[in-house]
Amino acid sequence: MIGIINYDSGNTRSVQNALERMGAPYILSDKKEVLETCTHIIFPGVGSARSAMASLKERDLEDWIKNYKKPFLGICLGMQLLFEFSEEGDTPCLGILEGRVKKFQATKKIPHMGWNQITPDNSYFYFVHSYYVPLNKYTTAECQYADEVLSAVVCKDNFIGMQFHPEKSGDLGQDLLFEFINNG
């Protein structure tokens, strides 16, 4: 069973739709007791870092996420919240991964929205974000937007983060979700 964290900041419906297309069983919950029974967790995110962190604290999920040992996928804001700090609202985040989330400079069209290519495999995925994670020791795939080269995928232990939306990225995104669910 796949657990989707429901914390009022997630893009949960599109993740649910992607899992339904795959025939993957899932549960949407904000209860750590329920989520703990799942084999994999998806942490989707859309919205503000500050309100998302407040929602996680309100639901007593912050420490639970930090200590989670099974496969865990953070998507978009869900990836950014894995880091120590976000410039969005000067927000302390979960601190699972070292680093800071930065805001794109005003010289770029913000948000970064649409299809963009990631390396090393040169595949295209769908992005929507105004903040980004610079390249760091956790980066396993990168993307260029205007003058910035940013982390498109990060990994540490059981935690994987994707800045793009695999659930909105067609067959390739579906393949990534399938890989995560079946191989963690």
What's the CATH number where 120 sits?
3.40.50.880
Quick check: is 76 catalytic?
Answer: yes
For residue 146, the model assigns a pLDDT of: 82
Instruction: Work out the angle between the directed axes of helices 12-22 and 170-183 (0-180°, nearest 10).
Output: 80
Candidates 40, 112, 129, 165; catalytic one: 165
The span from the CA of 129 to the CA of 28, in Å, is: 23
The span from the CA of 57 to the CA of 63, in Å, is: 9
Flag whether the pTM goes above 0.75.
yes
Question: What pairing do the DSSP bridges indicate for beta strands 97-103 and 124-129?
Answer: unpaired
Candidates 76, 93, 112, 143; catalytic one: 76
Whose CA is closest to 9, among 42, 63, 51, 41? 51
Beta bridge partners of 139: 154
Contact 20, 174 (CB under 8 A): no
For residue 108, the model assigns a pLDDT of: 74
Fill in the DSSP letter of residue 11. -
Rg over alpha carbons for the chain, rounded to the nearest Å, is 15
Whose CA is closest to 34, among 76, 10, 64? 64
Is the pLDDT confidence value at 154 over 80? yes
Q: Which position has the token pair 């996680």?
A: 56
Number of domains comprising the chain? 1
pLDDT tens digits along 80-132:
999 999 999 999 999 999 999 999 987 778 899 999 999 999 999 999 999 99
Candidates 88, 93, 129, 167; catalytic one: 167
For residue 184, the model assigns a pLDDT of: 73
**Helix (H) or strand (E) segment spanning residue 171:** helix 170-183
Quick check: is 93 catalytic?
Answer: no
Angle at CA of residue 22, ends 62 and 37, nearest 5°: 35
Average pLDDT over every residue of 135-158 = 96
Find the domain containing 161 and state its range: 2-183
Quick check: is 165 catalytic?
Answer: yes
